[in-house]
Amino acid sequence: MTQENQTVPAPRLCPRGLAFYLYYFAKFMERELISYFTAGRNFLATEGFLFKLKILLDSGRFHQSELQGFVDAVQKSQWKIESLHIKINDVVDDDNSRTIALEFTDSHKNEIFHLFYEAYTTISLYYENSKYFPDPLTEFHNFLSHMVSAWAALPGDKCKFSSNVQRGFNHLFRGALDIYKILIIREIHKASGASLNKLRQLRQYECATIGKRHDDYAKRLINAYRKLFFEIADGPDGYKPTINGWVKLRKPLDEEAQLS
């Protein structure tokens, strides 16, 4: 099965739409901190934020009513989020919003997000009976936490801003790598000697380049593990590898996903 990855064009992002999204996630985190020890982390809601960010980056715009509808759905799910109905116009600074939006529309960082999103949808299709996946969603949650901290550091603390942006996208990088490693382990019994040798070389390269990584390193390494997974789990076009074998593709995951 051929799986060629195409470069994702950088979106024309509405800064206020992104600010609105980050603001609602910040309020979500506040509530989660209060409820974490009694209700645990709300992974279903975190997954919803992942799908909503994909919509935002693909469309370039995000209306308050769209996210409000999502928040209303979250309120009816595992536990309620309180005090979210606040006017975003009272807290959004346009200059700061434009600054943080530039990070999301940077072509390299935008591609890292889409590679993470593709990895997440791949593992979701593979384990088709699972509701969500805590480990990669924790990485995504940490990514957004850093982006909120970066946004909050503006306009004065540029060092804190840059540090949080870098750390945030590193979480997406690690999350995508971990997903493909999990999938490769699940399919390793199908691997040929050549594929096993590629995996050995890839792990050696990854270990040898710690601390020596350049801008293209993350996407090149993610794509290398991604390519190796589909090489090992090779199957007919139009089908997906799952834990139970090859199944014909249905609608994309984000079209089927909804809060219950």
- Phi, psi (deg, nearest 5) at residue 11: -80, 160
**What's the confidence (pLDDT) of residue 210?**
79
Q: Of 25-39, 200-214, 238-252, give the lowest mean pLDDT range.
A: 238-252
Read off the pLDDT of each residue in 22-46 and give the average, rounded to a whole number.
79
**What's the confidence (pLDDT) of residue 70?**
60
DSSP 166-231: HHHHHHHHHHHHHHHHHHHHHHGGG--HHHHHHHHHHHHHHHHTTT---TTHHHHHHHHHHHHHHH
Highest mean pLDDT among 1-10, 35-44, 147-156: 147-156
Share of the chain above pLDDT 90, in %: 28
**What's the confidence (pLDDT) of residue 18?**
81
What is the DSSP code (8-state) at residue 101? Answer: H
pLDDT band of 251, cuts 50, 70, 90: very low
**What's the confidence (pLDDT) of residue 74?**
55
Closest CA to 154 of 144, 164, 140, 166: 164
Query: What is the C-alpha separation between 226 and 177, in angstroms, rounded?
Result: 8
**Residue ranges per domain, the chain?**
15-256
**What's the confidence (pLDDT) of residue 76?**
53
